[in-house]
Every structure is written in structure tokens, then in C-alpha cells.
Amino acid sequence: FVANANDNSVAVVDAKSWRVLETIGTTLYPTRLTGSTTNGLALSPDEKTLYIANADNNCLAVFDVARPGRSAARGFIPTGWYPTCVRTLSHKILVANGKGFSSLPNPQGPQPMKKTDTSGHHTGSIPAAGPVQYIGGLFKGTLSFIAAPDAAQLAAYTRQVYQNTPFTKELEAEAPGEAGNPVPRRPGQPSPIKHVFYVIKENRTYDQVLGDVAAGNGDSTLCLFPERVTPNHHALAREFGLLDNFYVNAEVSADGHNWSTAAYATDYVEKTWPISYGNRGGTYDYEGSRLIAYPRDGFLWDYCQRAGLRYRTYGEFAADGKTDLKALRGHVCPRSPGFDMDVLDTERVRIWAQDFDSLLTRGQVPQLSTIRLSNDHT
């Protein structure tokens, strides 16, 4: 049994002939979308039941595999956050949850507004006042011990998994919203929007920037960049939308840029960034430099390319006209820098504006522009 993390599936392989007998789909709903992240599995002691970790669904998929090639789905079991390993021991199922139970705020994290802050890049430091609450160090993995369920208990577990999951086939077909909204509710629906300018910033939570907005569901005690520091952000939020209950799965730049450009961070990305960021080996492979980190269906630009749309990037997955991403070749602003904290966002905007004016004059403004403004990174 081989877990295919980037494909929501498990391959059942005959160990003698090396022939794939069947491919088991592990998703909660039939869908061609990736995102379940099937990354671990274990057989029951009698080898008739297969427990499969769906990391991004926070559950185990349970299959009857007594007849190879004719496996049958039995249900799901809820787990902690991001299950990464499954083992069986007698009548118990052991599940390692890579991210534990919950994310946490870090009021004692790196403080960009304090001149005395000595936090190091990524790994932080340990000043006399105590350890820095760096986001990468706040996740405490957990180990779940689950009694192998009977049919009734498995049915109850399955209902719980579906209740925990906001995604449904109905929402994929048509998203909720009010009439007249320019954002399409259904795939293929027309929209008056002709050009999208997607500004990607760095490593900030809602509370850290907009926590001081009284109308929002925020915590002002966590606000690092209040309105006096970020008047433009606050003006945009008031005019267009606060998005105070918009949640994402990213923790750091590595997975954040993938969630921002592909709505997904692969198993490889999730499991290697803590090693890289912790200075325990590896390199920064997370902005197009290694194929193994790519989502199966690619990034925003791959979707644009397949749809025949015009697109251009300004520093996102590219730097100074160079990119490792095949879909971006020929679609990069040659003067836009990549990640560089010495480049002010005002300079990045100036470069974008000059390029935009040139494209506008020629009638070649792309339908999608991804613009990196990363100077709020700490």
C-alpha cells in the first residue's frame, strides 16, 4: 500500500508482480481537486482493514482491503490537526498529529516595532526575559490512542468528520453570496471583473494588522501595525471588506506562498520547512525551485496558462526577471526584485507602476498580476 500525498489516493501494489491492482480514492467527496494529503497508513493486525491518514482533512479514511483489488470504503475517523503517521497496536489505532490541536497567538513573538528586539531570522533567540514565541516553535504535536471502532462507532465518527469539514460538493458547485456580487458564485459564470491585481504580503495575521478595528472580530492586544502605521491597509478594509473571519493554514513564508498561489501546501512543503527553518538541513525549496514541492495541478499561473489568460508576476516566485517556474517564463517583470528586506515596498510599487503604465499604453495589461510587497516580513 502506497500513500500518494499529492493525489488523494493510495495505490495497492502486488509485491510480486509490482502491478498496481487498484487505486483507492480517500477524499470525503468525489472530486478531482487535490488537498486531502493522504500521507500515512497502517493495516489492522488481521490485515483486513486499512487506516489512511488524510492530513489536510484531519481524519483517517477507513477501508476494507480483505479482497485486494476490490477494496471498499467503510468511513472516517476524526483526528487531531494534520495527522502524519498511523500505527495499529492490538485493538488500538495510534495517530501522530503533526500540528497538535490548535494554533496559538504569539504576543511575545518577534516585535518589529521595538528597536530593542533581537529575534533572529526564523529561529528566533532566547533573550534574558524568556524565549521568543516564534510561530514555528508553538506547534506541539500530539499522539491519539483510538480504540478500533465497531460499525456503529465508525458511523458516528464518520458523521463527525463530515460535520467538521466546511467543504461540500454543493459549495463547490455554487458558493453562497448575494445577487449582483461581481465575484462569480459558480464556475464559468461571467463577471464584470476584467483585471485582478493580487497583492501578496508577508507573515501577518489579521490581528497583527487589523486587530484595532472595532467592527471586526479581532484582538487589539495582538495588533503590531495599527492604523497610525498602516493607514492604507485600514482604508482598503473599510472600503472593500474587512475579512475578519478569513482563515488560512499557513504558518510561515514557505507554506504561506504556496497557500497564496495554489490554495494548497503539499506534504513535502509541510514536512520539510520546519527542518529548513530550524537550521537542521535542507534548503528553501518553496517558491518554484523544486518540482517535488509543486501541487499536482500547479499554481495560479498554471491555471491561467491552461485557460489562455494573460498574466504577469512582480517578484512572486521570481526575481529580477528570473524564475524557476515553467509557467512564469515570459511572464515576469524584469525589474521586480524577489524577497529582499532591503527593498522598500514603495520602491516595489514604483517599479510595478512603471511597468503597468508601459503595458497600459500598449493595451497589454494582463488579466492577473501577482505583486509581492514583502517588507512587513519579520
Tens-digit pLDDT profile for residues 234-274: 999 999 889 898 877 788 899 999 999 999 999 999 999 99
Tell whether the model's pLDDT for residue 114 goes beyond 80: no
Give this prediction's pTM.
Answer: 0.90
* Arithmetic mean of pLDDT over the chain: 91
Distance of alpha carbon 133 from alpha carbon 117, whole angstroms: 13
Tell whether the model's pLDDT for residue 100 goes beyond 80: yes
Cell readout for 50 is: 486499512
Strand partners, 371: 199, 314
| Three-state secondary structure call for residue 73 | strand
Query: What is the CATH number that goes with domain 2-103+139-167?
Result: 2.130.10.10
Asked if 20 contacts 69 with a C-beta cutoff of 8 angstroms, the reply is no
Tell whether the model's pLDDT for residue 177 goes beyond 60: yes
- The pair phi, psi for residue 322, each rounded to 5°, is -115, 145
Tens-digit pLDDT profile for residues 127-156: 545 567 788 888 889 999 999 999 999 999
Distance of alpha carbon 332 from alpha carbon 46, whole angstroms: 56
The size of the chain, in residues, is 378
CA distances 250 to 18, 99, 230, 255, Å, are: 37, 12, 22, 5
Q: How confident is the model at residue 125 (pLDDT cuts 50, 70, 90)?
A: very low
Residues 6+ apart with CB under 8 A from 154: 62, 74, 75, 77
Backbone Cα Rg of the chain? 23
Of 34-48, 193-207, 349-363, minimum mean pLDDT range = 193-207
| Three-state secondary structure call for residue 253 | helix
pLDDT score of 131:
65
Hey, where are the domains in the chain?
2-103+139-167, 192-203+252-372
